[in-house]
Amino acid sequence: MKKRIVLAVFSLIVMAAQAQEVTVKSPSPNLKVEFKRCIANSGMAFIDILITNTSKQDTKIDCRPRLGIYDDEGNVYDNYEWTPTGKYKVYIATSNTDSQPLECAGFDIPAGISYKLRIIVVDGFDKYATIVNLLKIDFNWNVFGTKSYGMWVGDTFELRNLPITWE
């Protein structure tokens, strides 16, 4: 009986630790970042986020952001690793096709519009991971809209405690 109580209390502690709230830090008051989902299967992971431009003018996001993904098993995945076939191990896709990494042209977010980004870990995602403890994305964005002569600002977007759904 005592073992059952100890086991039940331990299980509750583990569940409470896993139920941590997702937190998001956006360094720009005009760019709202929202976590949608993290789905993993067969060594791959897909993390979907929305970036909403809450300003009154279009915003341009710069190319090739620096990515860092840290899971609860102590693994780090970043976009400076390559697969044996010469592809990025981690990249951002700017559409539902998942096939094209974010290239140097960047992308525009019209005023008041949300834009979906999918962060993809192509290979080697730990099958025992249950939470992405931290997702860091270093972006540059143009504070004067989509004009090439505008002022560029860079900082880190952080998303914490992202639950992983395994399929």
Residue 81 inside a domain? The answer is yes
Residue 97: give the domain boundaries: 22-166
Pairing of β 131-142 and β 66-71: antiparallel
Count up the domains in the chain and report the number. 1
Q: Give pTM, 2 decimals.
A: 0.78
Query: Contacts by 81-90 with C-beta closer than 8 Å and gap 24+?
Result: 83/122, 83/123, 87/122, 88/122, 89/121, 89/122, 89/123, 89/124, 90/119, 90/120, 90/121, 90/122
pLDDT band at 108 (very low <50, low <70, confident <90, very high): confident
Closest CA to 49 of 71, 29, 26: 26
- As given in the structure block, the two tokens for residue 108 are 């525009």
Residue 79 inside a domain? The answer is yes
Q: Which helix (H) or strand (E) holds 71?
A: strand 66-71
**Tens of pLDDT, residues 26-66:** 888 888 999 999 999 999 999 999 999 999 988 888 755 67
Please state, as a whole number, how many other Cβ atoms lie within 10 Å of the Cβ of residue 110: 13
Mean pLDDT, residues 92-114: 69
Residue 147 inside a domain? The answer is yes
Residue 17 inside a domain? The answer is no
Residue 9 inside a domain? The answer is no
**CATH label of the domain that carries residue 79:** 2.60.40.1230
Question: Over the chain, what is the mean pLDDT?
Answer: 80
